[in-house]
Amino acid sequence: MIKISSLSKYFGKIHALDNLDLEINKGELLGIIGPNGAGKTTAIRIICGILKPDSGDVVVNGYSVLKDPIMVKSMIGYLPEEPNLYERFKARDLLRYFGELYGVPKDNLNNRINELLELVGMENRAEHRINTFSKGLRQRIAIARALIHDPQIIIFDEPTMGLDPATSLAIRGFIENLKGEKTIVLCTHYMDEADTLCDRVAILNGGKVRDMGTPEYLKAKIHGDIILEIKIQNQNIDTEKIHSLSSVESVNLNGKNLSISLSSKQEISDILRLIGNNMISINTKEPSLEDVFIHSIK
Amino acid sequence: MRFLKITKWELKNTLSSKKFITIIILQFGLLILMMSFFNMFIGSIESEDGISLSPSLSKFASIDVSDNNSFIITNLNKEVLDIRLVDYNNSLKRLRDGKTTAIIVSPENPREKIESFQTINIDLYINSEDPKQSVVLNEVNSTLEALSTSISDEWINSLIPPEKIVDPEVKEEKKGEFLPLQIIKKMMIAILLFLPLFLFGNMVVDSIVGEKERKTGEIIIAMPLSHSDIIMGKNLAIILIIALQTAIWIITLLIAGFNIKNPQLVYLIVLLTSVPIIGITSVIATYSKNYKEAEIGLSLVYIIMVGFLIIPALAYISTRSLSSNISPMTLVMRIFSGEAISGVDFIIPIFSILMVSLISFWTSIKLFKRDDMVFGPRPNLIRIIMDFLGIKKREFK
Ligand SMILES: Nc1ncnc2c1ncn2[C@@H]1O[C@H](COP(=O)(O)OP(=O)(O)O)[C@@H](O)[C@H]1O
Ligand SMILES: [Mg+2]
């Protein structure tokens, strides 16, 4: 559906994208994760025909963004990182404006607008001006705007950044609803967001894809780092003996917190016996996408 | 035709925004104010009293005249001088006492002397300590000059048979005081006609730089529109607004009694002139990073553009040189003052309007197509010009 090949982009001397290759399949939800400055926004802007690459190309549904930008643009719905909208517009007029410019047929447009306002829960604010909206409401309208022409491909750039937890949850809900129906690219630096939503995740850093796969695959790749977090009553613990077990990789005693890193789960019962009733609570921590991320950009 | 959609929405937004309505009302207020000021100014120039630009000069200095034959006294400027007809001896005493600045003494029987080709002497006594003496000297000199011209004219005319003098075919060339008055009047109308064109720069800047400052350029460019659709759509909206305002403005001038011949043609040319002005403004707007930069750029360029309009127009009035036709203002001036215009006269201004429009809009679109103009980092001017010329930068690896 989207094929990105050897994309490079410089901003003056900053090398934002470095021969980026990436393929996004039809109907999948691909997450792009990476720290600030990784090049996520730059990559997305090139896909959307907003920036021109210094080299490389993006082919969307068989159309090159360099040769047929208008065709590509009409297939994509884009939610920018910052929901900057025309402040003086009323919510409904903003949607009508973009609807007309995207060429939504006149007789469909009103229905489409109502549908979207309902979807993002803004029916009652339709006649209010954008400049009276909070950041959360703006983001909702911005999402409705991105969907106005019912695009096959939707690209979200950090859709929940800086929003309150309830709005973030709602927005993740919208994305979840679109999943399967549309081809979606989700850029985020919230790893758990990518973990719960995405079919596949690409880890971007320094303008390059460092690793890519399903969240499970990526996590399994760095498996072994099962971490036991144990709270103890007193420091009367023989850490040497725990360390001598074959599956234990490291033991860390920090006040009343004992943290043990294991390569497998087999000897957990032995460890527990060694600690005995000195133990108050125990917690196992499985690797998260965050660990994968830290691991892969090392 | 996609750009018409942009135009439609820009118009809709602009015409319904309170800010715009306020600006239009303020602009109109300013124009009306200038108009009434000009009217007053012209009025005072044309009034019977002649030019009295410095009212404080009236009856500024006093002069005593000894003139039994009313030879000089009728020609002296009564506005500036306080004239007193006194006999010679009495005046000398007044001069010594500082009661008058000067005495002028006309000869006996001056007209007879002239007719018999004798020189006539006019004596002027001046109180050299009085600072007003120079004014008196000036006034007397110009009076005498006028007097001698009129005497010689009279004499020459008396030699020619009367039927030769009155020749209806020959228009008298107006000179002297009348020329500046004509210039001032024409320039004022021309300025009033063209002034509104320069009041719309801010709208262009708001429409284009605003997209950068408010960071909305991204969603505009992400739409299935070409860069030229966006630039042309936005600028067309502003030209249409100018068309509306200029029409209202010309009608206002006509109602206010300004003499504008052929107003439709004048309107058309003024409107056409707005196209390159908007084009150049659009170039500045696409190049500028922010409002501040755009405003500095506009001020500089507008001074140049106003000069380009006015200087050839002034040159035309004073020298009638053909090259001054390059300014559309010259053309408009000739049309509204009822001069006969041939098709050839249109070629130069229309051609210059077209060329500047084409080049400026082309440049503006070219600039807008560069993503570094909208998102930065903006390259320097030399780099941009080299890119225009197709000179590639050395790759650094
Ligand atoms: N318009 C720009 N001008 C200069 N540098 C930029 C511009 N846009 C992005 N960059 C730089 O390119 C790099 C990648 O930025 P970006 O794509 O925004 O990263 P991300 O979205 O992953 O945070 C960063 O170093 C950033 O500073
Ligand atoms: Mg970003």
pLDDT digit string, tens, across residues B304-335 = 999 999 888 888 876 666 677 888 998 898 88
CA distance A259 to A230: 6
The residue contributing the CA closest to ligand 1 atom 18 is A41
For residue B78, the one-letter residue type is K
State residue B51 phi and psi, 5-degree precision: -80, 120
Distance CA B247, CA B274 (A): 13
Distance from CA of B220 to the nearest CA of A (A): 9
Indicate if the pLDDT at residue B166 is higher than 60.
no
Size of interface A-B (CB pairs under 8 A): 64
Q: What is the pTM of this model?
A: 0.76
A83 touches chain B (CB under 8 A): no
Q: What is the chain B residue with the closest CA to A97? A: B9
CB contact (8 A) between residue A85 and residue B219: yes
**B179 pLDDT higher than 70:** no
CATH number of A224-296: 3.30.70.940
**Inter-CA distances, A182 with A76, A129, A132, A149, A189, Å:** 10, 30, 31, 13, 22
- Residue B191: is its pLDDT beyond 80? yes
B215 to chain A: nearest residue by CA? A84
A80 touches chain B (CB under 8 A): yes
- Per-residue pLDDT, B279: 97
CB proximity B224 to A under 8 Å: yes
CB atoms B218 and A45 under 8 Å? yes
- Residue B174: is its pLDDT beyond 50? no
Report the nearest atom of ligand 1 relative to the CA of A38: 22
Helices (H), chain A: 40-47, 69-75, 91-101, 106-119, 135-147, 165-178, 191-197, 215-221, 239-243, 268-275, 289-296
In chain B, alpha helices (H): 2-16, 18-46, 88-96, 110-115, 133-159, 162-165, 178-194, 201-213, 217-221, 227-255, 263-287, 291-319, 328-336, 343-369, 371-375, 381-388
Rounded CA gap, A9 and A11, in Å?
7
- Identify which of B215, B221, B223 has the shortest CB distance to residue A102: B223
Contact of A265 with chain B, judged by CB distance below 8 Å, is answered with no
Which of the following CATH numbers is that of domain A2-219: 3.40.640.10, 3.40.50.300, 3.40.50.720, 3.20.20.70?
A: 3.40.50.300
Q: Indicate whether residue A34 lines ligand 1 (CB < 6 A).
A: yes
- Of the candidates B261, B282, B247, the one whose C-alpha atom is nearest the C-alpha of residue B362 is B282
Find out whether the beta carbon of A205 lies less than 6 Å from any atom of ligand 1: no
SS3 B160: coil
Domain boundaries, chain B: 3-42+179-388, 57-154
Predicted ipTM > 0.95: no
Ordered per-residue pLDDT tens for chain A, 298 residues: 999 999 999 998 899 999 999 999 999 999 999 888 999 999 999 999 999 999 999 999 999 999 999 999 999 999 999 888 988 899 999 999 999 999 999 999 999 999 999 999 999 999 999 999 999 999 999 999 999 999 999 999 999 998 999 999 999 999 999 998 999 999 998 888 999 999 999 999 999 999 999 988 887 776 556 788 899 988 888 888 888 888 888 888 888 888 888 887 788 888 888 888 888 898 887 777 777 777 777 6
Answer CATH for B57-154 from 3.20.20.70, 3.40.50.300, 3.40.640.10, 3.40.1710.10 = 3.40.1710.10
Say if ligand 1 is within 6 A of residue A14 CB: yes
Residues facing A72 on adjacent strands: none
Question: What are the phi and psi torsion angles at A266 (to 5°)?
Answer: -60, -40
pLDDT above 60 for B354: yes
For residue A85, is it left (φ>0), alpha (ψ between -120 and 50) or beta? beta
| B226: chain A residues, CB-CB within 8 Å | 69-70
CA angle, A181 as apex, A176 and A185 as ends, to 5°? 65
For ligand 1, the distance from its centroid to the CA atom of residue A52, given in whole angstroms, is: 14
Q: Which residues of A92-118 are buried (b: 16+ CB within 10 A; e: fewer)?
A: bbbbbbbbbbbebeeeebeebbeebbe
Contact indicator for B275, B243 with CB cutoff of 8 Å: no
Convert the pLDDT of each residue in B243-287 to its tens digit: 999 999 899 889 888 888 899 999 999 999 999 999 999 999 999
CA pair distance A182, A28, nearest whole angstrom: 7
Confidence (pLDDT) at B172 = 46
Q: How far apart are alpha carbons A10 and A20 in whole angstroms?
A: 13
- Burial readout A244-273 (b: 16 or more C-beta within 10 A, e: otherwise): ebebbeebeeeeeebebbbeeeebbeebee
Contacts with A74 from chain B: Cβ below 8 Å: 224
